[in-house]
Amino acid sequence: MRKRIFQIVEAAADGDHLSNAYDIFMMIMIVAGLIPLTVKGKYPAFYILDEVVAGVFCVDYVLRWMTADYKLGKGKLSFLLYPVTPMALLDLICIVPSIDPLYRNLGVVRVISLLMTLRVFRAFKVVRYSKTLKMIRSVFSSHKKPLITVGVIAIAYILLAALVIFNVEPDSFNTYFDAVYWATISLTAIGYGDIYPVTTTGRLVTMLSSIFGIAIIALPSGIISAGFMNELRKQTEEEQREKEKKHHD
């Protein structure tokens, strides 16, 4: 019984209609849980909707915890380890903001506001039920090292460019953080126009920063695109092999 529950709550396997229906239902619940965040003020209908969604998430969390040994494969230890796994923590973050007794006991407006904001994390639950998003997650996981390397290069470049512009134009940038902000938007070649250099030297630095920024931003884009195409090719080949196997059977 527990094994069948595990098969249902996990991402649907090919041909498992009940699991597929469960995935669709959960994706609908995730979207429904985000609707109250699109309006200001409190409405009874949205309050009820949020409580229903939170209840569904609670049931889903319990079912996944009950079948943690099938997921983690570590026997009884799985039930202790599951609550601290990334997806379980995400599930908990999505549930906690809807617990009313917690609000009353905390009694701190800022903490409550933070918990309300955490509901946005419900959108990330879609990753569990979407094969495409799971593929993208797999790409990031398999290309973790080069992406981290590019990220470190980007951060180092931002800090260095900020240091240069901060010393070239001290009158235009009041703090180093302002310079870091400018360097970040210049790196992405966006530029909001709220902070900008006014001297010739500062503008030259800006042009160089934008040019190098395009090159740095292109690196992770190329890595992710290549990885996605590779994962797509693997998935296509696996599906083709499964079809051939069924045909031979």
The model's pLDDT over 59-100, given as tens digits with 9 standing for 90+, comes to 988 998 998 888 888 888 888 988 888 888 878 877 776 665
Which CATH number belongs to the domain containing residue 51 in this structure? 1.20.120.350
pTM of the predicted model, to two decimals? 0.55
Residues 108, 111: Cα–Cα separation, whole Å: 5
Residues 249, 243: Cα–Cα separation, whole Å: 10
In a domain, residue 174? The reply is yes
- Of 94, 129, 164, the residue at which a domain comes to its end is 129
Give the DSSP letter string of 201-249: HHHHHHHHHHHHHHHHHHHHHHHHHHHHHHHHHHHHHHHHHHHHHHHH-
Whole domain around residue 118: which residue ranges?
Answer: 2-129
Average pLDDT over the chain reads: 77
**Residue 149 sits in the same domain as residue 60:** no
- Of 67, 99, 129, the residue at which a domain comes to its end is 129
pLDDT score of 10:
78
Name residues whose C-beta falls within 8 Å of residue 162's C-beta, 6 or more positions apart in sequence.
176, 179, 180, 182, 183
**Residue 210 sits in the same domain as residue 119:** no
For the stretch 100-148, pLDDT in tens is: 555 554 444 444 444 445 555 556 666 666 666 667 777 777 778 888 8
